[in-house]
Amino acid sequence: MANGRDVIVSEVGPRDGLQSVARVMNYDARLDWIAALAEAGLAEIEIGSFVSPTHLPQMADTDRLLEDWRTSVALNTAIPEIIGLVANLRGAERAIAAGVDKITIPVSISETHSRTNLGKSTDEMIAETKRIVQLVRDRTPAIGVEAGLSTAFGCVVEGAMDPGRVVDIAERVIRAGVTSVGLSDTAGSGTPTQVRKLFRQMYNSLGSNVGAAHFHNTRGQGLANVLAALDAGVRTFDSSLAGLGGCPYAPGATGNIVTEDLVFLLEAEGLATGIDLDRLVAARSQLLRGLPGEPLYGYIADAGLPTGFSRSLRSASA
C-alpha cells in the first residue's frame, strides 16, 4: 500500500462513535480530538455525517469542522484522508462543498433497518446512490465514493442475511457507479467463518472494488472477525477510539471494535499501520475531555503493551 502501510485503519469515532452518544461533544473538543487522531498517524478519519442537526445533533457543524481542520489544525500535522457519510443528495452537496476526500453512502441489506435508519427502502437507497455518484462526477470527480452495506451479516429484526442478496446488492451499487463496497456488521452478529466466506464471495464477484470491513464487538467477535477478513484479503478496517459507538437503529449493537486494540493486533501480525500506538492511546484524553464520564473501552489502554513487544517500525512516510 501507499506510504509504507500494509493495512489501512479508518477511524470512525468522530462519526459512528459520536452519533451513538446521547450527549453532544463541545465543538472545540471535537476539533482537538480529531487533531489528536491525525497526529497519531491514522490514514483515514471519518469526520462526521452530513445530515440534518435535528436528526443527529451530535453531527451539527460538520461542515465548519472540516473547514477549520483544513485551514488551521491540519497545517501542523499529517493530513489523513477525510471521509464524510451522506445519505442523500443534499448531504452530498454539503460534503462536496466542505471538501471531503471521500464519501460513504449507507445502503442496508435489511429492509427493516433501511426504513428505520434512512427512511427509504434498499431499492430507493440504491437509486439515491446513483444520483449521488452522478453529482460527484459532475462537481468533483476526484472524490471517492464507497457504499457501506449495513447489516451485511445480520439484522436484529430480520436475523441472518442471505449472502446471495448481499453480493447482489453490492453488484448493483457498483453498477450505480461507486468505486468500492464495504461490509458492515451493524448488529454485531457476524462470526469468523461467516466473515471469511462472505468476503471471499465479494472478492470473487467484485475483485478490487471490495472496500472496508466494519465490525462491532457486540458478542466479542470483533477482532476474530478482523483476522478472518484479513485471511479473505481485506486490507481496510473501520474502528473507533476506545470502542465508542454502535448503531442507534440496531438495539443492542454495542460499540465498534477498539482502534487501539486493532492496531496492536495488526502490528503484532507483522502488518505496518503507520500509527503511533502511544499517541493513539493518548488521544483518549481528548475524547474524555469532550465527553467526561463516558465509558471508554480497550485492553491496550488498560494493560499496556507486552514487555518486549516488537511493533513494525516502518513509518507512514517510508
Cα–Cα distance for residue pair 304/151, rounded to 1 Å:
33
> Can you read off the three cell numbers belonging to residue 278?
502511544
Cα–Cα distance for residue pair 30/47, rounded to 1 Å:
10
- Identify which of 158, 269, 257, 261 has the alpha carbon closest to the alpha carbon of residue 212: 257
Cα–Cα distance for residue pair 134/89, rounded to 1 Å:
10
CB 317 within 8 A of CB 4: yes
Is 155 designated active site? no
Catalytic residue among 210, 247, 280, 283: 247
Question: Nearest 5 degrees, angle CA 42-CA 256-CA 73?
Answer: 30
- Catalytic residues, by residue number, are 247
